Amino acid sequence: MTRPYDIVLFGASGFVGELTARYLAEHAPDDCRWALAGRNAAKLERLRESLAAVYPACAKLPLLHADSDDPASLRELARSTRVLASTVGPYLHYGEGLVAACAQAGTDYADLTGEPEFVDRMYLAYDVVARGSGARLVHACGFDSVPHDLGAYFTVRQLPEGVPLRLDGFVRSNAHFSGGTFASALEAMGRGKQMRDAARERRAVEPGPAGGRKVRAPLGSPHRSGELGAWAVPLPTIDARVVERSAAALDRYGPDFRYRHYAAVKWLPVAVGGVLAAGSVVALAQFPAARTRLGSLVAPGSGPDEARRARSWFTVRFVGEGGGRRVYTEVSGGDPGYGETAKILAESVLCLAFDSLPGTAGQVTPTVAMGDALLERLQAAGIRFRVAATTSA
């Protein structure tokens, strides 16, 4: 198909959208045909001017109008490009129209969602459509969930093939949330029943692993990890689900694979306080008025300043075991919520647009869609994937 653009970034004037646009301006190939899209023409124009001040070639960057409330504009946008990236959340409110348009147009799609209900609903509604059109729908192409998904894949590759594998991931970070991220989290917390219903509906129709393979991602339980010198607190985020889906799709994860996902907290009082605080927010999020009040504490479109982001970091440490071998790996980088998330999203859409990839379609995970190619891109971009140690189990 001949289309005007290779990549379109929708939501470019938002906080993470702008960071992603700046990354693309610096790192996209000279022959990449890309454009900015959104509903506010004035904000897009200001962004283009600020990009052009540093990267003069951006002075002619196309600006496209599209609105989440205007399905016709989304269909036109999807038909104009080979790959479409969306930073417009909460995705439960603003995301479905663009997913639908891309699935129908055969356009590859990537977003930053960490909302399990949204991902499950999009699978139920558009996976079959996208398989028919050839579109790849790749959710969670940011800190949720690429370091965990690709990190698990990287760790599995260090272990023997064809044997049962056990893998635990431990996340640490000092980063802050933006208004958009907090709003998405509150929305998810207040929709526990809907989230469970969507997951149940998906399980009822989604094929399991082929060949009698077993794949599990249980929640796990709090415990002291002597190997890490930290307390492990179970994380009920989308990340474990994404790892589980990659494992279900790829034979390399072995005949019997189990993954557990934790936050690593050095001090017990901090771990206990974090659990209690999270529980309180979840409880309050069940009430619309309280949700609104909590959401007002962090303004939408806001985020940590450049100095704060420069001090931010993350690590995800993995302990994998199988076939008589134990391996310790680590994925690490800078500011996870914004700088690295923008980098991951931008490299993901560049990967979808220009790299030689497995022949997939439908809703697929980042690892299933891009695997080794994205791993190589992120390593070259400064996100570190390393083997810390290997021992006999």
Say whether pLDDT at 89 is over 90: no
Query: CA geometry: angle at 59 spanning 305 and 105, to 5°?
Result: 85
Residues 51, 198: one domain?
Answer: no
Residues 35, 167: one domain?
Answer: no
Residues 354, 291: one domain?
Answer: no
Residues 266, 169: one domain?
Answer: yes
Residues 118, 262: one domain?
Answer: no
Residues 151, 139: one domain?
Answer: no
**Sorting pLDDT into bands at 50, 70 and 90, what band is 271?**
very low
Q: Is 111 left (phi over 0), alpha (psi -120 to 50) or beta?
A: beta
Residues 226, 346: one domain?
Answer: no
Residues 139, 152: one domain?
Answer: no
Residues 133, 231: one domain?
Answer: no
**Of all residues in the chain, what percent carry a pLDDT higher than 90?**
73
Residues 160, 230: one domain?
Answer: yes
Phi and psi torsions of 181, nearest 5° = -65, -45
Residues 200, 95: one domain?
Answer: no
Structure confidence at residue 290 (pLDDT): 47
CATH number, domain with residue 28: 3.40.50.720
Q: Which of 369, 266, 259 is nearest to 315 (CA)?
A: 266
Structure confidence at residue 312 (pLDDT): 85
Say whether pLDDT at 298 is over 90: no
Total tally of structural domains belonging to the chain: 2
Residues 72, 176: one domain?
Answer: no
CATH number, domain with residue 183: 3.30.360
Domain extent, residue 56, equals 5-143+340-374
Number of other CB atoms surrounding residue 11 within 10 Å: 27
